Amino acid sequence: MRNYKEEYELWLDSPNLSQKEWEELKSIAGDEKEIESRFFAPLEFGTAGLRGTMKLGLHQMNVHVIRHATQAFANVIKAEGAEAMRNGIAICFDCRNNSELFAHEAACIMAANGIHVRIFDALRPTPELSFAVRHYGTTAGLNITASHNPKEYNGYKVYWSDGAQLPPQHAAAIAEQMNKIDIFRDFVTCDFDEAVADGRIEMIGAETDEAYLACVLGQAINKDVVASVADKLKIVYTPFHGAGHRLVPEALKRLGVTQLYPVPEQMVLDGNFPTVESPNPENPEGFYLAVDLAKKVGSDLIIGTDPDSDRIGVMVRDGEGYTSITGNQLGVLLLDYIINARREAGTLPENAGAVKSIVTTEMAKVVAETNGVHFEDTFTGFKFMAERVAEWEKAGTYKYIFAYEESYGYM
């Protein structure tokens, strides 16, 4: 295995680098610490894929690492056979700098490998990617996002045919392929526009949005409740410059919410997240603009989603100010509501089951079991919850109604 100095020199000598990239690497020639941090090892490919800062180097997120990972991913899909290649992959991206570029690079690698690609025509929420994988019956999914991390980061999140992030065996197979193939030589690619023109890459958008929104709104238990408070309930919403900017307000409006107040400054798509230090809805300080707007319009509820719109933070009026509801608290409240509202509507299964991660509050288990709902824990991560739900479905034991973890994610 090459040391970081040898890796650095290898990159400097590569004809794959553009002049701008070569100049970036040349500019750090005298900085041993910086060279080591960029080249000491490859980014580790795990069940959540890759994540790193956007710089040139082996241990960074850049087009060369994207191509390398995607060729490895393509090899794993091809090993599944011709049908898996025809079913293909769905690709999504968020608002971050370079996200669309990385997504298009990945699409070109997949298409050149004979794998059919469906790629969104613009940024979309992460949950819609999982939906698209299942809706179109694709073999896999890919999302270019670093979720709620600082602006310097980007990521490469990978999904399998169930719409959940990769199970360990597939992640290990991709990591093995990455170790086998050369980052600069062992990949094939094509022109994006040509691949769109000949059908190898299929653009998806509005039609998928409509199917997704129909599915989301189909989860509503009692729309009459919304109608009864629609004229009174004022909701402030912020997407933190990210992928929830369009579909979250649209879903709320279609649900019947009439008093919705988006935060104007944060409805602007921007991968630099100029109005917040961290675009993480777990951090109350990021809601300062939303709180100001809520005070101005007299809102009772503030909702914020992270840049890829798979985490939600909530604040509620508390006297003269606003207080945050933690992920643990909101999960318990949602679980309690779902159980009781579905029981009242006559739609609660007799064998209802719910799931949480092992680091999430035990109060959820108490709420579930007190109401006669089966409850189980999994390791942290929705991929493990999805696996548990799939096991229930296959065995016919329990019918899943809700899953969540304390880090502000709900399913």
> If residue 394 lies in a helix (H) or strand (E), which one and from where to where?
helix 382-395
Residue 201: domain span: 42-212
Residue 33, domain member (yes or no): no
Instruction: Choose the catalytic residue: 147, 299, 309, 357.
Output: 147
Q: Is 147 a catalytic residue?
A: yes
The dihedral of CA 237, 243, 246, 249: what is its sign?
Answer: negative
Confidence of residue 374 (pLDDT cuts 50, 70, 90): very high
Residue 66, domain member (yes or no): yes
What average pLDDT does this structure show over 119-125? 98
Residue 15, domain member (yes or no): no
In DSSP terms, 399 is beta-bridged to 352
Hey, what are 137's tokens? 């019956």
pLDDT tens digits along 6-18: 999 999 999 999 9
- In this structure, the answer to whether residues 258 and 361 fall within a common structural domain is no
- Which has more confidence, 230 or 234? 234
Residue 336, domain member (yes or no): no
Number of domains comprising the chain: 3
- In this structure, the answer to whether residues 285 and 373 fall within a common structural domain is no
Is the pLDDT confidence value at 152 over 90?
yes
pLDDT tens digits along 254-308: 999 999 999 999 999 999 999 999 899 999 999 999 999 999 999 999 999 999 9
- In this structure, the answer to whether residues 50 and 165 fall within a common structural domain is yes
pLDDT tens digits along 74-110: 999 999 999 999 999 999 999 999 999 999 999 999 9
Is the pLDDT confidence value at 161 over 80?
yes
Which residue's structure tokens are 């100049």? 23
Residue 37, domain member (yes or no): no
Q: Are 106 and 144 in contact (CB under 8 A)?
A: yes
The pTM is what?
Answer: 0.95
- In this structure, the answer to whether residues 229 and 171 fall within a common structural domain is no
- In this structure, the answer to whether residues 263 and 308 fall within a common structural domain is yes
Residue 199, domain member (yes or no): yes
pLDDT tens digits along 162-193: 999 998 899 999 999 999 999 999 999 999 99
Find the CATH number of the domain harbouring 208. 3.40.120.10
- In this structure, the answer to whether residues 118 and 195 fall within a common structural domain is yes
The residue among 325, 360, 379 that closes a domain is 325
Residue 13, domain member (yes or no): no
For 119-153, give one letter per residue: b (16+ CB within 10 A) or e. Answer: bbeebbbbbbbbbbbbbbebbbbbbbbbbbbebeb
- In this structure, the answer to whether residues 263 and 366 fall within a common structural domain is no
The residue among 212, 235, 265 that closes a domain is 212
Confidence of residue 46 (pLDDT cuts 50, 70, 90): confident
Is the pLDDT confidence value at 1 over 90?
no
- In this structure, the answer to whether residues 51 and 186 fall within a common structural domain is yes
Q: Rounded to 5 degrees, what angle do the CA atoms 51, 389, 142 make?
A: 30
The dihedral of CA 17, 20, 23, 28: what is its sign?
Answer: negative
Confidence of residue 345 (pLDDT cuts 50, 70, 90): very high
- In this structure, the answer to whether residues 243 and 270 fall within a common structural domain is yes
- In this structure, the answer to whether residues 198 and 230 fall within a common structural domain is no
- In this structure, the answer to whether residues 123 and 252 fall within a common structural domain is no
Residue 366, domain member (yes or no): yes
First-to-last C-alpha distance (Å) of the chain: 42
